Amino acid sequence: MKRNLIRLWPILWLGLAAAPFLSAGEPTRPNILFCLGDNYSWLHLPPYGCNVIQAPNFERIAREGVVFRNAFSCAPSCAPSRSGIVTGQDIWRLAEGANLHGSLPSHLPTYPALLEQAGYSVGYTGKGWAPGSVEAGGRTRNPAGEKFAGFREFLAQKPANRPFCFWYGDVYSNPLGKPVVKDGVNLDNFRIPGFLPDVEATRDDFYYYFQRLRRLDAAMGEMLQALEAAGQLENTLIVYTADNGMDFPRGYPNLYDYGTHMFMAMRWGKGAKPGRTVEDFVNLNDLAPTFLEIAGLPVPPAMTGRSLMPILTSAASGRIDPRRDRVFTARERHAWARRGGLGYPIRTIRTDDFLYIRNYEPDRWPAGDPDFAHPTQGIYGDIDRCATKSYMYEHRNDPALKSLFALSFGKRPAEELYDLRTDPEQLRNVAGQAGYAAAQRKLASDLTEYLRATGDPRAQGRPAPWDAFPYNAAYRSTLQ
């Protein structure tokens, strides 16, 4: 019965709530512009203390709006993160939507569809919900909406009396084989994260990474100009963030901060007091209920995300909602990096002081099997090919690199606990130490309680289905 109600929710919602909006066509309803970067970590833009590049458009949105210091991805993997964003739900509730190269079942309500049914013009460009199969989920188009060549093209065809919701999707491309371009990127005072070797290969990867970030910011600038030219800047909620962490070893698809902690700034000229920095913990699945509420629409009961409207409309900085003192993230299968398509399931709880991680299959290799080659990523296929990965693998037996190699490529215990007050880069696992026993028990209990309350099969003693779901990739016929 419950499953049938969930499947029928979009139809029920339309009948109960949408009719007034469908006929009104009110141009004063806020627009929504969502800019989603592809594979970036939170602390690499000036508002977070990093001055490697100039990012004038992110800085403008932060200055004229709200910058979030504790925004986290739903999952440290592209498609699962995007599944959580469009549905407003934790990924363990989304069946195949929790896997990379999965699908998103059509019975799950999504905010673009709900907004469109309520009279919004909806579209996207670049990378929408991906990578995976739209058709395998029973959908006829990308969950992000109808695809357009760009934002200006979308605005040009949009009916004048309709509000809009547009998704700009940054597109990642692999740096291997590309020339290193240093113009506009100053790594002189940049500290390489402690889990990576400070060598030329790593710095070359960071040059490419920051150049991509510069291009993303430039694209945001073009969209701001288009909004201003259309006279819609002040009536548009702008969200500027990224889907998951940086594409380096121990970055994505891991649940350490470099895989899940996101930069995010939001600007709403008519509704958000500018110049504020917020410390509340937010999950990117909070965006869907936020977008629906700002449009005056009800939030489906299936959504586990919580609207950010109280934060946007507040005049305060710092910790606004005392209940937002933690966030939960998860991972199931990323790449086909293990024989049989096995994933590496993890759940975490992150607070101000601690990161607690539960690895459900500690006998598996978190970065992928060392003797199994992924068709595009090679061995240790859950780490993208990059110069840093190659260097670390080639020097894995060097005494100076062994410990770093183990952090990114080695097996991990069933529980990990990091004291962020003394170890912000999460290099020293203190799980099992007597001095942390009370904190470990409390975090483990809080994580289990949340997972059970939100229907995670792994916490409810039910079979976990994710290893058996199809892997919808063009090269799947080569997998064994």
Tens of pLDDT along 46-94? Answer: 999 999 999 999 999 999 999 999 999 999 999 999 999 999 999 999 9
pLDDT at 11: 40
pLDDT at 478: 67
pLDDT at 480: 61
pLDDT at 1: 41
Q: What is the 3-state secondary structure (H, E, C) of 199-236?
A: CHHHHHHHHHHHHHHHHHHHHHHHHHHHHHHCCCHHHE
| E strand intervals along 120-260 | 121-126, 146-147, 164-169, 236-242
Tens of pLDDT along 145-167? Answer: 999 999 999 999 999 889 999 99
Instruction: Name which of 344, 304, 347, 330 is nearest 81 in CA terms.
Output: 330
CA-based radius of gyration for the chain: 22
pLDDT at 174: 77
pLDDT at 195: 98
Residue 368 falls in which region: left (phi positive, over 0), alpha (psi -120 to 50) or beta = left
Cβ neighbour number for residue 339 with a 10 Å cutoff:
11
pLDDT at 94: 98
Intervals of the chain under pLDDT 50: 1-26
pLDDT at 5: 41
Q: Which domains does the chain have, with CATH numbers?
A: 2-319 (3.40.720.10), 328-478 (3.30.1120.10)
pLDDT at 2: 40
Tens of pLDDT along 285-314? Answer: 999 999 999 999 999 999 999 999 999 999
Cβ neighbour number for residue 178 with a 10 Å cutoff:
11
